[in-house]
Structure 1
């Protein structure tokens, strides 16, 4: 049996996320991440390969955390309730995991990587996104009777774009989400989906 890891991966990824959010993507060098996390530079190179590997892992971890919650929201039997729950996932996730949301919303993938994303990254991202895209198509068929491009776009505008914009604006303006945001966003999403 292998000995337990001395430096927790989540601690390293948290340190990378902190550096990116506090000082910008370029500040998150391997040396800076090592200093922030307390892990030796060699550990970071061994575990992640390079700076791109650490930052990609932090970004994908945030995305996976969000997508797990979003997919769980789509399991409700009533499609309208499932769609509203999916939209609310963004607001609740932003309230509970604000730093992960800031990483996902404020930092573009290309800002995190020195090199162009490789095929493995693109494949992993496509694999991660596929279940949520399928859930959106199912909800669209249930709500609109079809899942053509226009119908899917209408549902995505309501359950993805609207809550994303609300969360992004509030996080940028002061970092806090008002207590009434869930109710107002849910009402707006429901209105859009029923129109």
Structure 2
């Protein structure tokens, strides 16, 4: 049995995220992340390879936390495409409440903003793989709501399920916490969008 890791990965990634959000991506050097997390520089290089590895891991962790909630919500409402869409909106806001700093990271920074050089092929392929189930849900919802899944119908669903909560989270991400009324308003707005004829 391997010994337990002395320096928790989440602590390291939290420190990297805090540095990026507070001082900008360039402030998150390996040395700065090591100092902020209490992990030795060697541990960061061993575990993540380099600065890009740490920041990519922080960004991917945020995306995984978001997608876990949103995709689980879509599955619970799978019988009714409108309810699945509404559940996804609610899950997006819930993610923002539970992981506001992760939401800020995803909202404010693209991977290319974080990394030295463009994201590599492996990263782009991983991102495409992660996004594939979400795209499949949008296609199923479009088919269920509008009877077709052409680009127009998929775009209509995406406006309600992706753009609406994204915009609301972006507007309120700098606040100490999300407004209590946001969930109900997002749900009502999503239902309105999804009930409008194309």
TM-score range, shorter chain: over 0.9
**2: CA distance between counterparts of 1:116 and 1:165?**
26
**2: CA distance between counterparts of 1:175 and 1:148?**
40
**2: CA distance between counterparts of 1:33 and 1:73?**
34
Equivalent in 94, 97, 122 of residue 96 of structure 2: 94
**2: CA distance between counterparts of 1:175 and 1:10?**
22
Which 10-residue stretch deviates more, 131-140 or 30-39? 131-140
Unpaired runs of at least 5, structure 2 = none
Unpaired runs of at least 5, structure 1 = none
Partner of 1:63: 63
TM norm structure 1: 0.97
Partner of 2:3: 3
Q: Superposition pairs for residues 103-118 of structure 1, below 5 Å?
A: 103-118=105-120
Secondary structure at the counterpart of residue 74 of structure 1: helix
CA RMSD of aligned residues (A): 0.9
Tell me the CA shift for residue 175 of structure 1: 3.7
Q: State the number of aligned residues.
A: 194
Tell me the CA shift for residue 170 of structure 1: 1.2
Partner of 1:50: 50
- 1:122-156: CA deviation from partner (whole Å, max 9, x where unpaired): 11111111111111111111111111000000100
TM norm structure 2: 0.95
